[in-house]
Amino acid sequence: MKTTFSRTFVPAAIILLCALIFVGVSFRALVEGYLIEQSLDRLKSDAGVISQLAGAYYSEDGLTHEDFLLNLSVASQVSNADAVIWDDQGKLIMCSAAPFGCEHQGSEVNLEYLNRVRTQGQAVDIGVRVSLYAERRYVVSVPMYDARNTLFLGIVMVSLPIEDTTRVLQRLTDIYLMVALIVVLLAVVVMSIVARQQSKPLQQMAKTATAFGHGDLTARVELEGSYPTEIEELALAFNNMALSLQKSEYQRQEFVANVSHELKTPMTTIGGYIDGILDGTIPPERSRHYMKIVSDETKRLSRLVRSMLDISRLQDGGIPEEKKTRFDIEECAGQVLITFEQKITAKDLNVDVEIPDFPVYTHACQDYITQVIYNLLDNAVKFCPQGGDLGLYIRPAGSKIYVTIANGGETIPPEELPLVFDRFHKLDKSRSQNRDGWGLGLYIVKTIVCSHGEDISVSSKNGRTEFTFTLPLVN
């Protein structure tokens, strides 16, 4: 199972190990190069000094034998290097380790090597085996001349065991490996703590999601100040999603309850009247009257179902572009207003219409916009008192058209304003039996307007209620 720790630690561990290996190899190569360079520089310096001493010794009026041996011994001990002097024939004539005679006395060097040193002025070799020694060495050889620098007398070979450098490198490697091991262990500990801290909110979110999935809609992720910014944003997004789902579930339950409640009364009425006609409780001469009531209730139920289907279709797919056309909103609103002529006359309403003197075109679904205006005017006329005021206003501004339908009368309480566009919401709860509506008119209005990508608002104060929605303005 891939845990947060493994996903976090494995890549970090690989990067850390690669970095440690790269640094270690680079550091070793750097130190090794430095040590070799220092060793060779020291050998070159010693070889030059011994060559001058030997040249002075083998020249006339040069150093005495005792002085030469003393200087050779001191130089060898100070540099901790072995010096060997070969004559011009390639025979060993003196060794710093045993200047008065050693086991290598009489040994010979390759004449080709002797000529190379004489020709090139020096010979530098790394990790070679000299016949005099068993181990590999750094070897520097320089030619030896007399005091006048005219007569070739032989060569001076100065060397150091390569093991000294190897030993230093080995100690450095051991120290580096120990430090690297400590770093890796610390990294494991730190990454474990970090991974545990990072996985804690994720585990809590998984636990909360499980509880939410089992029906606990109140489950939320508890936020802590120690959470990283990304985890905190994820937790906030999860809580917002949970809140939205909880609200949707509440609305669904409320919708089912409202639909059941609204359907119960007309279905009971229809069933009661039909049963009364069938069992003779209702006299035959009254059957036509009650059958008309049954017919009206059936039509209202049909309108309810049709409205709910329209709402569902709009919420799922929005308004198809092919259904949108360019039309004059003034003409559309005017035609709808004419259909309310009888109701307006019956209530003796004062109608105030303010529209521009020129056509105002919009691009929308004309049938749906007609329904929006119809529903708003229907509500305005219904709640307008006898002899009250009714208003229709169209105002283009910028890239929008503002359509306002207003009525006088009793205002909507402030606490009810945010709820007027909810499904089955009625301002007066006692009017749930009202035969004039289901509380879906304003909900349908908002659904249609929002499906066009526009907005609708309501204000109600000082005895005047206004509904204003927007439409796009086109030339």
Q: State the CB neighbour count (10 A cutoff) for residue 202.
A: 14
What integer pLDDT is reported at residue 77 of this predicted model?
Answer: 67
Q: State the CB neighbour count (10 A cutoff) for residue 441.
A: 19
Average pLDDT of every residue of the chain: 81
Q: Are 363 and 356 in contact (CB under 8 A)?
A: no
> Bigger pLDDT: 64 or 167?
167
How far CA 290 is from CA of 129, 284, 362, 435, in Å, comes to 126, 10, 46, 16
Which residues lie closer than 8 Å to 310 by C-beta, 6 or more apart?
A: 444
The vertex-434 CA angle with 468 and 416, nearest 5°, equals 40
What integer pLDDT is reported at residue 136 of this predicted model?
Answer: 86
Q: pLDDT by residue (tens digit) across 400-428?
A: 999 999 999 888 888 888 878 876 665 55
| Euclidean distance between CA atoms 468 and 457, whole angstroms | 5
| Euclidean distance between CA atoms 374 and 367, whole angstroms | 10
Joined together, the tokens standing for residue 35 give 């040590």
Residue 396 has pLDDT above 80, yes or no: yes
Give the DSSP letter of residue 415.
G
What integer pLDDT is reported at residue 437 of this predicted model?
Answer: 45
Domains by residue range for the chain, with CATH: 4-167 (3.30.450.20), 229-316 (1.10.287.130), 322-474 (3.30.565.10)
Chain centroid to CA 146:
80
| Euclidean distance between CA atoms 339 and 376, whole angstroms | 13
Q: Are 380 and 406 in contact (CB under 8 A)?
A: yes
> Bigger pLDDT: 31 or 6?
31
Q: pLDDT by residue (tens digit) across 208-261?
A: 888 888 888 788 877 776 677 777 788 888 888 888 888 777 767 766 765 676
- 435 confidence band (pLDDT: 50, 70, 90): very low
Q: Are 100 and 93 in contact (CB under 8 A)?
A: no
How far CA 263 is from CA of 249, 258, 301, 304, 329, in Å, comes to 21, 8, 8, 9, 36
Q: Which of 55-59, 118-122, 173-177 has the lowest mean pLDDT?
A: 55-59
Q: Residue 158: name the closest of 124, 129, 108, 135 by CA.
A: 124
Residue 341 has pLDDT above 70, yes or no: yes
What integer pLDDT is reported at residue 2 of this predicted model?
Answer: 62
What integer pLDDT is reported at residue 144 of this predicted model?
Answer: 86
Which residues does residue 467 pair with via DSSP β-bridges, in sequence order? 405, 458
| Euclidean distance between CA atoms 394 and 402, whole angstroms | 6
What integer pLDDT is reported at residue 468 of this predicted model?
Answer: 95
Q: Is the pTM value of this prediction over 0.75? A: no
What integer pLDDT is reported at residue 103 of this predicted model?
Answer: 61
- 314 confidence band (pLDDT: 50, 70, 90): low
Q: pLDDT by residue (tens digit) across 292-304?
A: 888 877 876 776 6
- 349 confidence band (pLDDT: 50, 70, 90): very high
Helices 229-278, 284-317: inter-axial angle, 10-degree rounding:
160
* Consecutive H or E run containing 59: none
Residue 318 has pLDDT above 60, yes or no: yes
> Bigger pLDDT: 217 or 318?
217
| Euclidean distance between CA atoms 415 and 98, whole angstroms | 113
Strands 389-397 and 350-354: parallel
Q: pLDDT by residue (tens digit) across 65-105?
A: 666 776 777 766 666 778 888 888 888 877 776 655 566 66
Provide the percentage of residues in the chain whose pLDDT is more than 90.
17
